[in-house]
Structure formats: structure tokens, C-alpha cells
Amino acid sequence: MFLTAAYDVGMPSFGIAPERRRGAGGPTGLVPARADRIIRALSWWWASAPLLLFAPAIAYAMGLPDVRREVGWVFGLLALLTAALAPTAGLVAAQIGDRREARGRFLIMAAVSSVSILFFLFFGVLFPECPEGYYC
């Protein structure tokens, strides 16, 4: 009740506001406030992927080289999973919650993530492999 009244009065929503729904919330749809919270959480989760990716380098720069050597691969794997799963889960939540603007935002997130993942696969996995007899 308070959140609905707050949005109607014109209080700031920090860039994310509930969208107007086309139909009544059927049995398969999410409650509008819950859908907005899920979409906001998935957006922040996706935004954390670069921080996860650079966490070992930041730890190394701060004087903790063991983090980079021992568990650096875990942060890279988490960044890849975050970049792939957050837009996918966001698209599903936006579809179920009937949020058109959020669907567009998650499609853009998926495109940015797919380009990043392809760069990682090309330069991190495929490009460094040297044919036999060559020294890279």
C-alpha cells in the first residue's frame, strides 16, 4: 500500500518505476511490486559481473597475490555465470511480470554479455592455443 502511494505521489524511484500493466494480474502473473524488486535485483546482479571479473586483479594490486593465484579462476567463472544467467533470468521475470521496458533492458544486457563472453572465449581460450612447432 505504501509503495503504491509513494509512486503515485511522485517520489523518486532511482530510475526504476513500476510500469502500467495491460491486464489484471492473472494467476500466472507476478504481483507488480514483487516483479519490480526481482527485476531490480537481477539488474544489480548483472552489473556486478565486471567487479567479479576484476576482483583478483584488485586484490593483487592491494598486496594479496594469493587471491589471484589460488581462487582467481573462481571469480572469472562467477563473472561468466553472472553475465549469462542474470539477463536470462531477467528476461523470464520481465515476461512473467509483463514488463515491456524491462524486457528491452534485459535484451540489451544479453547482447552486451554475449559480446563479452565471445571476446573471452576467443582471446582467452581459442587465441592463446599455439599449433605444434610454434612458440607463442
When computed from its CA atoms, the radius of gyration of the chain, rounded to whole angstroms, is: 20
User: Of residues 20 and 97, which shows the higher confidence score?
Assistant: 97
Alpha-carbon 57 to chain mean position: 21
In the numeric block, which cell numbers belong to residue 86? 542474470
Dihedrals φ, ψ of 50, to 5°? Answer: -65, -35
User: What single letter denotes the amino acid at residue 42?
Assistant: L
Q: Using an 8 Å Cβ cutoff, are 32 and 21 in contact?
A: yes
User: pTM (2 decimals)?
Assistant: 0.64
User: What pLDDT, on the 0 to 100 scale, is given for residue 3?
Assistant: 53
Give residue 16's pLDDT.
57
pLDDT in tens, 16-54: 555 555 554 555 556 778 889 999 999 999 999 989 888
Return the C-alpha cell found at 89: 533470468
